[in-house]
């Protein structure tokens, strides 16, 4: 019998009002049920928001270092369960053991980071224009935060929304994606064990179309942080801003790596393959376009194909690349592979599902490389959330920059070059919120801002680092003439 996991609302683990549940299965073995979660509805979401609103004033007046102590203990609680949570993440989402372990560690580190940042929360002292006046600012929490998170980083993304929200004195309700909610639930378990007061943090599982929508549009919610698809994100932004809420959205990407004429081809192939095929390509920052100078194009294609060929596919606890998270995600990748071939791109490797006993009915797709891709092909314009790489040939650096920017997205971009002038130009001219030199498009430091340009983001507020605290605080200016 599988475990039935409850919602956490107002300090208690409770069943949903629907008394219904949904199953979460292992994408490597879809017949294996990992756990059952509450199939909640708008009533459950409303109760959670009301609990958060009732708890907000007292939490806001709790001294920030005391809030930090709870975050620090929650980090320690997560660390004590790292192996268990790594296995759970692999079983629900499909990441390899190494990838899942790295993500769990990222969540632990985020909680430790914001625990320490609570000591710096306060304000700034300024010089007044007149004698006898003390002029300063005070940072205050925004209020109640609605958090809606995706399945592809099911513990890291909740962590980098929850930790700064709590550090700044906000309360929250989170609705995690139904494909892999278990590790987000574990964050609330860790916080509960650390002594988080009732109502300050709440988690409600169930469909985002109902639960997520209900928390985002609730009158008592003051801030909304959403990570997910562009289509849904734009709707969330419009509905929340119409109500005057503070909103940040982080959406899709079509991330390029530019490989210049003088680049080391082997290094470039290593960088691109890691960005394209890591986490099964299921990252908003994954490299899906390699923009390569024509003089080294053929050599690069041969090298990156060799990297793809060396990847061993299978269950995440044993192999280099795991399955996609669901049948629908697998079908989406296979559909784009068909589209690319119909458009005239050349399939260099992959393009299908692997054969063999170890794959069973799992949602596996082969690492796939296309060459002969034109900039207007759908495979070069639309986000493919899978291990599919489009290689585009260009004649010079200017064409490479134009190709990199020829997208409605602008999340992450990288360049492989041995020319520092090219690197500097790339950083200045590429339209991306994250730009990297001689590095893969994926992978983020937790103490610097993260966010995109164009349709990759609302371009309002960044996440992580000090920017994460900025979103969850509002500044009051004080003129003290006492």
What 3-state DSSP class applies to 353?
coil
What 3-state DSSP class applies to 391?
strand
Angle formed by the axes of helices 156-167 and 182-193, nearest 10°: 30
Count of beta carbons in the 10 Å neighbourhood of residue 375 = 17
Query: What residue ranges in 273-367 does DSSP mark as E strands?
Result: 287-293, 346-349
Instruction: Give the strand pairing for 134-141 and 473-480.
Output: antiparallel
DSSP code, position 457:
B
For CA atoms 327, 330, 336, 341, give the dihedral sign: negative
Report the distance separating Cα 170 and Cα 468, nearest Å. 12
What 3-state DSSP class applies to 17?
coil
Q: HSE (CB half, 13 Å, CA atoms) of 334?
A: 13
Instruction: Give the strand pairing for 346-349 and 368-371.
Output: antiparallel
Contacts of 98 (CB under 8 A, 6+ apart): none
Quick check: 327 and 296 in contact, CB under 8 A? no
Angle formed by the axes of helices 156-167 and 97-117, nearest 10°: 10
Q: Which two tokens stand for residue 308?
A: 């793809």
Report the distance separating Cα 357 and Cα 404, nearest Å. 40
Question: In the sheet where 21-26 sits, what is the strand order?
Answer: 4-5, 29-38, 21-26
Rounded (5°) CA angle 108-110-111 = 70
Nearest to 5 by CA among 28, 27, 25, 21: 21
Instruction: Give the strand pairing for 453-454 and 409-410.
Output: antiparallel
Quick check: 262 and 419 in contact, CB under 8 A? yes
Rg from Cα positions in the chain: 23
Q: Does the annotation mark 284 as catalytic? A: yes
Catalytic site residue from 284, 313, 404, 434: 284
Angle formed by the axes of helices 97-117 and 182-193, nearest 10°: 40
Count of beta carbons in the 10 Å neighbourhood of residue 374 = 14
What 3-state DSSP class applies to 141?
strand
Residues involved in catalysis = 284
């Amino acid at each position: 019998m599988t475990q039935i996991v409850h919602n956490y609302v107002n300090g208690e683990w409770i069943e949903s009002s629907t008394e219904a549940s949904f199953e979460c299965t292992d994408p490597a073995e879809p017949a294996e049920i990992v756990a059952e979660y509450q199939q909640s509805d708008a009533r459950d979401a409303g109760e959670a928001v009301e609990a958060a609103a009732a708890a907000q004033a007292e939490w806001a007046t709790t001294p920030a270092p005391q809030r930090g102590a709870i975050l620090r203990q929650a980090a320690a609680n997560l660390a004590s369960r790292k192996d268990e949570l790594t296995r759970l993440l692999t079983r629900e989402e499909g990441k390899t053991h190494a990838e899942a372990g790295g993500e769990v560690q990222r969540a632990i580190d985020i909680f430790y980071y914001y625990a320490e940042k609570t000591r710096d929360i306060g304000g700034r002292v300024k010089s007044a224009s007149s004698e006898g006046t003390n002029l300063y600012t005070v940072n205050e929490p925004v209020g109640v935060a609605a958090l809606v998170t995706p399945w592809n980083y099911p513990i890291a993304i909740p962590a980098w929304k929850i930790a700064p929200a709590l550090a700044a004195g906000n309360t929250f309700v989170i609705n995690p994606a139904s494909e892999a909610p278990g590790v987000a639930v574990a964050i609330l378990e860790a916080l509960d064990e650390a002594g988080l007061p009732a109502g300050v943090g709440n988690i409600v599982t169930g469909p985002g179309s109902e639960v997520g929508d209900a928390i985002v549009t609730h009158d008592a919610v003051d801030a909304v942080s959403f990570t997910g698809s562009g289509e849904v994100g734009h709707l969330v932004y419009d509905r929340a801003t119409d109500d005057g809420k503070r909103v940040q959205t982080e959406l899709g990407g079509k991330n390029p790596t530019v490989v210049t004429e003088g680049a080391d081809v082997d290094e470039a192939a290593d960088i691109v393959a890691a960005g394209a095929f890591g986490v099964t390509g299921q990252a908003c920052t994954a490299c899906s376009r390699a923009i390569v100078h024509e003089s080294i194009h053929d050599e690069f294609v041969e090298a990156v194909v060799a990297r793809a060929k060396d990847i061993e596919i299978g269950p995440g606890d044993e192999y280099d690349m795991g399955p996609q998270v669901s049948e629908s995600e697998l079908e989406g990748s296979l559909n784009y592979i068909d589209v690319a071939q119909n458009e005239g791109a050349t399939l260099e490797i992959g393009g299908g599902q692997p054969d063999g006993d170890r794959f069973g009915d799992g949602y596996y797709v082969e690492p796939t490389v296309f060459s002969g891709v034109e900039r207007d092909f759908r495979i070069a314009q639309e986000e493919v959330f899978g291990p599919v790489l489009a290689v585009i040939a260009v004649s010079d650096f200017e064409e490479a920059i134009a190709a990199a920017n020829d997208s409605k997205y602008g999340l992450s971009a990288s360049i492989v070059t041995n020319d520092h002038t090219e690197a500097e130009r790339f950083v200045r001219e590429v339209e991306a919120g994250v730009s990297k030199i001689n590095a893969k498009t994926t992978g983020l430091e937790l103490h610097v801002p993260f966010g995109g340009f164009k349709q990759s983001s609302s371009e309002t507020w960044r996440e992580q680092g000090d920017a994460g605290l900025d979103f969850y605080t509002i500044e009051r200016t004080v003129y003290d003439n006492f």
